[in-house]
Amino acid sequence: MTISARSRWAIPLVVIVVVAIGLAVSQAWWRDTPLTRSDYVGTIDVSADDARLYREVAFEWHVSSAAGDFKGTDKAYVRVDPSGERTVICGWLRQDKAGASIRASRWLSDAHLTIGALSISATFIAPVQAQPGDGLNAGCAGLYDNLKPSAQAPLSLDGPAVPE
């Protein structure tokens, strides 16, 4: 039985395709939304009136350490403002749960904020202890590429478990 020249190339090609698909799945390349380009642009004072423009975004965090795995839930407050020359997204996380809030902040440092179909790093979300109108400063990020998501686009936070 002889193998044609075409068949000799088909078998290694199939093996390469299977390995490439396995690598893509193992690295979660198909599930991860590419991050939208953004940068930290500073903080903004949040008055009691301005706080009404921020939306609550509930999330579940997971932190691993030598002392064990910790999970919890928290809420960040986020505002999307596409009205300027550049879209600005601002947010804060209340530090009102002692160690759990610190762990939630740590988780946010590796998490992504999804805004409709866009995904950006959530590192701009500032951990705060103040109340709106009482010295609260939200962290802000600006989007590149002239992207203008709706101010009412669905918001969610997600990310992997992170080391403490």
Beta strands in 29-121 (DSSP E): 38-45, 55-65, 68-81, 88-94, 112-115, 118-121
- In this structure, of 10-19, 47-56, 101-110, 124-133, the range with the lowest mean pLDDT score is 10-19
* pLDDT of residue 113 exceeding 80: yes
Mind listing the pLDDT tens digit for each residue in 6-50?
A: 667 767 777 777 776 666 655 555 455 577 888 899 999 999 999
How far is residue 42's CA from residue 161's CA, in Å, rounded to a whole number?
27
* Cα–Cα–Cα angle for 156, 162, 71, rounded to 5 degrees: 70
How far is residue 85's CA from residue 87's CA, in Å, rounded to a whole number?
7
Domain boundaries, given as residue ranges, for the chain: 1-31, 34-163
